[in-house]
């Protein structure tokens, strides 16, 4: 197997496993059991159950479904399934961003951390809207590029938690780790996404209008 193909497939599998695991872990918040909430945020979440449910429910859907949208076999063999999953993904992305924006005013360690999450939510809305607008105009390659950016931002649900784990292991105070992660987690994801997009731009699959195989 071509090493670049193997690398893409390994990357897709890693992303899918991590995203699915965090989606399942996050779904426990939908039970609305106070014991599942982070102690520092428990009071805020209990007072904001509607936006919390919107935010978490949308994130679970978008995180879990996103990777499957990048499988060319699914798009080519079952285009209706691809479109259906795409609509559900976009609905989830909009829901999690809207819920996140509603929670921002009550966020921890303001104003820096809430501002980071607000920027993330706006970015999710902007990239997801651009992806939808592109596919409505049948601009497939452009749609794929915006979907990569959209999912990179959604994947912050994974990288933010990894950031907190690494910072905790390194002895970084929780407030500092949380505040820096509110910006770094999604900015790093976007940088990686732009690298992926740049590599696609030089590949034969984009010039032919096809999706790069993960």
- Using alpha carbons, select from 61, 64, 117 the residue that is nearest to residue 94: 61
Tens of pLDDT, residue by residue over 89-130, are 999 999 999 999 999 998 889 899 999 999 999 999 999 999
Tens of pLDDT, residue by residue over 93-102, are 999 999 999 9
pLDDT in the model for residue 110:
85
Where residue 39 falls among pLDDT bands split at 50, 70, 90?
confident
pLDDT in the model for residue 1:
58
pLDDT in the model for residue 87:
96
Residue 124 near residue 91 (C-beta atoms within 8 A): no
Q: How far is CA 125 from CA 26, 42, 101, in A?
A: 21, 27, 11
Where residue 2 falls among pLDDT bands split at 50, 70, 90?
low
What percent of the chain lies above the pLDDT cut of 90?
69
List the single range of 78-87, 145-154, 202-211 with lowest mean pLDDT.
202-211
As a whole number of angstroms, the distance between CA 69 and CA 27 comes to: 21
As a whole number of angstroms, the distance between CA 121 and CA 154 comes to: 9
As a whole number of angstroms, the distance between CA 9 and CA 131 comes to: 23
Instruction: Specify the CATH number for 3-207; select among 1.20.120, 1.10.150, 1.10.260, 2.40.50.
Output: 1.20.120
Residue 68 near residue 23 (C-beta atoms within 8 A): no
In the chain, where the domains are located: 3-207
- Counting every residue written for the chain, the total comes to 214
**Is the pLDDT confidence value at 43 over 90?**
no
Q: How far is CA 111 from CA 107, 125, 141, 158, in A?
A: 8, 21, 38, 23
* Contacts of 200 by beta carbon, 8 Å cutoff, 6+ apart: 144, 145, 206, 212
């Amino acid at each position: 197997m071509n090493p670049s193909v193997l690398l893409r497939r390994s990357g897709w599998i890693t992303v899918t496993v991590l995203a699915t695991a965090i989606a399942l872990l996050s779904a426990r918040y939908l039970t609305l059991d106070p014991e599942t909430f982070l102690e520092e945020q428990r009071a805020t979440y209990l007072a904001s159950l509607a936006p919390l449910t919107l935010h978490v429910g949308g994130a679970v859907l978008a995180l879990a479904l996103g990777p499957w949208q990048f499988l060319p076999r699914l798009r080519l063999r079952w285009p209706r399934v691809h479109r259906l999953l795409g609509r559900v993904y976009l609905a989830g992305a909009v829901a999690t961003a809207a819920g996140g924006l509603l929670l921002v005013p009550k966020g921890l360690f303001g104003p820096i951390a809430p501002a980071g999450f607000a920027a993330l939510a706006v970015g999710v809305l902007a990239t997801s809207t651009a992806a939808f607008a592109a596919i409505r105009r049948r601009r497939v390659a452009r749609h794929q590029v915006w979907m990569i950016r959209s999912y990179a931002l959604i994947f912050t649900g994974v990288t933010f938690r990894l950031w907190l784990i690494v910072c905790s292991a390194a002895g970084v105070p929780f407030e500092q780790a949380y505040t820096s992660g509110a910006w770094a987690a999604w900015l790093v994801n976007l940088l990686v996404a732009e690298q992926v997009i740049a590599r696609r731009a030089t590949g034969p699959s984009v010039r032919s209008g096809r999706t790069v195989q993960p």
